[in-house]
Amino acid sequence: MAIIKTIRGFTPQFGKNIFLADNAVVVGDVIMGDDCTVWFNAVIRGDVHYIRIGNKVNIQDNAVIHCTYQKAFTTIGNNVSIGHSAIVHGCTLEDNVVVGMGAIVMDHAVVEKNSLIAAGAVVLENTRVESGSIYAGAPAKKVKELSPEHFEQINLRIANNYVMYAEWYKEVNGEK
């Protein structure tokens, strides 16, 4: 069963149709929307500041969502995919964002809607990622623009697939 902890008087709040893997950890001032999935070894730590997560967000295995004490909260929009072992820290991810495997998004960065952060990219503090773009490298730089249609295909496929994967686990555990 997932680890859900109250800290400093804050208990995580969850929307409808949530899947939390057995060893996922959600702590403190976290509010998560509907149709979200949090996968194995993922950690969402709202202990030092708040974390707000929209609808249909998937936080994949080993990802870390955190903040900076009294300085930087984390906001994640709708239809966001956060890849395996990514770190999302004290920043804003707008709607329809993909953060690739092993990518890092630092404090006060803003990733505008319909953007993709490539695997292994490092988005430095205070960076603004332009809507409809792919950013890659360390430090991350704009490498390509995506049409809204192309990005929608990528993003919705991933977001919808993770909702489907969660249903498989619910069936196995007799939750359906």
pLDDT at 172: 72
Q: Are strands 37-38 and 58-59 parallel, antiparallel or unpaired?
A: parallel
Count of structural domains, the chain: 1
- Per-residue model confidence as pLDDT tens digits over 119-146: 999 999 999 999 999 999 999 999 999 8
Encode the chain (176 residues) as per-residue pLDDT tens digits.
Answer: 999 999 999 999 999 999 999 999 999 999 999 999 999 999 999 999 999 999 999 999 999 999 999 999 999 999 999 999 999 999 999 999 999 999 999 999 999 999 999 999 999 999 999 999 999 999 999 999 988 888 878 888 898 899 999 999 887 766 65
Give the CATH number of the domain where residue 17 resides.
2.160.10.10
Which residues, 6+ apart, have CB-to-CB distance to 38 below 8 Å? 2, 18, 19, 20, 21, 24, 26, 44, 59
pLDDT at 153: 80
45-70 per-residue burial string, b: 16 or more CB within 10 A, e: under 16:
bbbbbebbbbbbbbbbbbbbbbbbee
DSSP type of residue 118: P
Task: Supply the mean pLDDT for the chain.
Answer: 95
For residue 115, which of 136, 98, 138 has the smallest C-alpha distance?
A: 98
For residue 121, which of 133, 132, 131 has the smallest C-alpha distance?
A: 133
pLDDT at 13: 98
Its domain, for residue 117, covers 3-172
